[in-house]
């Protein structure tokens, strides 16, 4: 597993080399205890970003809860997405200037939280008009991510396979099961267990999945997707266009008191997106 500790990063070339080889890296302690405590409070605020949540059916009567938005904004979650340490490391991995495509909270409730089937993120984003897979995600553990509560699993090196055909499974996009089955024979499966404040950074063609939450603890992750500056959508999509990132110092994360003023953020209307099918509440 390609792991690094943010406190001890010395040579970035090692990180870049592993990212290109595996399709992902893990960075431990990318958010400090104080930062993760501040961010957690923002997500727990019912008048913050989670008031725009929706449910994505994931099979077996289970759901995953999402809140997804474009434009970082000026609240605590926006300070994370605009912080120098997050933006700088993602720019280095993408190879240059980038823009904030979207961010999302992914919540799996205790005992009933659902799965994500095998997919590539570009399986979604290709359908939203992105011409190139030059997009990456950093997913930060707000709660501890374990095998029991449905942590991410990845097939190491599958980003080199190119885009695989995807189709709907419940509300999600699923990669061709026959192709995935064959790739499982060739590529190592890694369980991505994360402590609070750890993060996985991965390329948009990396095959990944996550299981149901079978534990008594929730699993909350904050995932931010960045696209290369030149990689604007060739289709009409409200999120997939270049918008320069206004960086802020890392200290802004703990100094920010704003949790409820979501000015500037544009939240996804799941009924209008071609790549998902949200659950229709009765």
The per-residue pLDDT for 281 is 58
- Supply 92's token pair: 């280095």
The per-residue pLDDT for 280 is 64
Handedness of CA 100, 82, 117, 200 (dihedral sign): positive
SS3 270: helix
List, for residues 164-194, the tens digit of each pLDDT value: 999 988 888 999 999 999 999 999 999 999 9
- Separation between Cα atoms, residue 85 and residue 38, nearest integer Å: 17
Q: Which of the residues in the chain have pLDDT under 70?
A: 280-282
Fold adopted by 3-272 = Jelly Rolls (2.60.120)
What secondary structure letter does DSSP report for 133?
-
List, for residues 56-104, the tens digit of each pLDDT value: 988 888 999 999 999 999 999 999 999 999 999 999 999 999 999 999 9
The per-residue pLDDT for 170 is 85
- Separation between Cα atoms, residue 279 and residue 57, nearest integer Å: 6
Do 94 and 199 form a contact (C-beta atoms < 8 A)?
no
The per-residue pLDDT for 278 is 78
Q: Indicate the pTM of the whole model.
A: 0.95
- Supply 16's token pair: 């870049």
Q: Under 8 Å CB-to-CB from 236, ≥6 apart: which residues?
A: 129
Give me the residues paired with residue 135 across strands: 227
């Amino acid at each position: 597993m390609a792991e690094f500790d943010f406190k001890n990063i010395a040579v970035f070339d090692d990180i870049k080399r592993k990212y290109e080889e595996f399709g992902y890296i893990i960075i431990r302690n990318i958010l400090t205890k104080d930062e993760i405590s501040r961010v957690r409070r923002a997500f727990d605020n019912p008048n913050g970003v989670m008031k725009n949540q929706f449910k994505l059916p994931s099979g077996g009567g289970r759901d995953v809860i999402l809140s997804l938005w474009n434009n970082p904004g000026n609240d605590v979650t926006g300070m994370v997405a605009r912080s120098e340490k997050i933006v700088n490391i993602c720019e280095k991995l993408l190879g240059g200037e980038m823009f904030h495509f979207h961010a999302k909270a992914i919540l799996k409730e205790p005992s009933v939280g659902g799965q994500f089937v095998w997919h590539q993120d570009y399986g979604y984003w290709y359908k939203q008009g992105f011409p190139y897979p030059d997009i990456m995600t950093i997913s930060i553990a707000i709660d501890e991510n374990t095998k029991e509560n449905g942590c991410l699993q990845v097939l190491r090196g599958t980003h080199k396979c190119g885009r695989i055909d995807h189709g709907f499974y419940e509300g999600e996009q699923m990669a061709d099961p026959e192709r995935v089955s064959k790739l499982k024979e060739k590529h190592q499966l890694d369980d991505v267990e994360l402590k609070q404040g750890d993060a996985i950074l991965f390329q948009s063609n990396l095959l990944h999945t996550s299981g149901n939450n079978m534990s008594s603890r929730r699993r909350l992750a904050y995932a931010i997707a960045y696209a290369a500056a030149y990689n604007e959508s060739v289709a009409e999509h409200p999120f997939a266009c270049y918008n320069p990132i206004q960086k802020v110092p890392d200290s802004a994360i703990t100094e920010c008191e704003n949790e409820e003023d979501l000015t500037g953020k544009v939240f996804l209307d799941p009924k209008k997106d071609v790549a998902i099918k949200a659950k229709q509440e009765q």
